[in-house]
Structure 1
């Protein structure tokens, strides 16, 4: 349906789709002026009081749509103020949205009628037609959403009173189920079972590239034996036979443990200089001396 057909015959010359506005008003006017009632009134309970008109808002829209009331003589600002005062008592987002749509249509219609009309300006006529089509489509879309929302609300209200009945499946219905038919033969089943039972083990992680762990406790025993025999040695002499860096680090940690328990004395003459280690322990078994202090320090180093 074109905008001209929807607005004809009285609204055919209007650029704002006033025919659609009239149809919506008549649908909600409660059967005024011979029209059939199609839905609830627009903004029920909202009335306006203007010098030119006083009464329900939907009747005002109907008079404007039928050109029985000139929209240019109406103060739309006063209508807006009265609507805001009306909504303060009972705020409703749906009514506010409907008022914004209708008020914007009236404002555009009033602006068009107030502008002077110049013959021969085809471009402006095309723009007016585009604006008319846009507003016409907007009104129809809003009306469709409103009806859909009303239908969904009715469905939700009726479904709220329904409760499902939870029962077991009747025996006569259970027997109607088809029998399970195996699609795998004995030979195929044996092949699948054999493949599952003879599944190869997961590949292990190779550790040949890893160095053997160095026991810190063993290196402490080596240090204690050498220092008890020699009395005083340098750190280079204590680590000269180390084959790996891990052994050097383990012996350095061992010296720190021995120094902490008072078995050795460490001396360094200058920064970054040679460390001299002097044995201060007794003649007892060195391994027995170190054992109590190894708890919580880790048993190996790699």
Structure 2
């Protein structure tokens, strides 16, 4: 009845809704339908309280007391119940329409024609449950061992740590020899450093090692211009710093994680 009025809360005429309800309950058996009458009283009390809270003015700051807020919360819950009621009512009407539409249909019992059934041989069991258990045990016993495939794992094409050691050792040897003259004394060009590389990936690995050594402050470089030779020189004392840091001057602190 409330849904049929479709009015604002402050415009709802409680007297008209009450008259509609009284006309409805006159035909009810109160001995059996007392719950419906109690539900109406609950809804009516919520509407009266919520309408009063909506009509009463708020304070200067627009705040309402706790009782008014509680009434408005009850109003929201009531409206939510009305929306659920409307959804269930629409669903019931849809079910009723579908049942009416399909009222004249009857299911056809499925069966196999005798001509087709005679073509199928009778199932004859030749094994006992114990035979089936032994077959299952044999299959499980002969199952292949579980193996984890490693084909999807990344296999490095070049040992970055070994290439880093090679770069360091050659630059240290060049520094010890003091080869070259002037600014190039004790240096080694990148062309010379990669002259024995068999693949391009080795060249890339040595260049990455150079970048990491430069980042660590263990290497200096000089290039006169674009596309000119890159001269590399190991920093004197870098080995002493590495030894003091990790206690092992024969190793490098470079791993594959540095190139990730």
Same fold (TM over 0.5): no
Scaled by the length of structure 1, the TM-score of the pair is 0.33
Scaled by the length of structure 2, the TM-score of the pair is 0.37
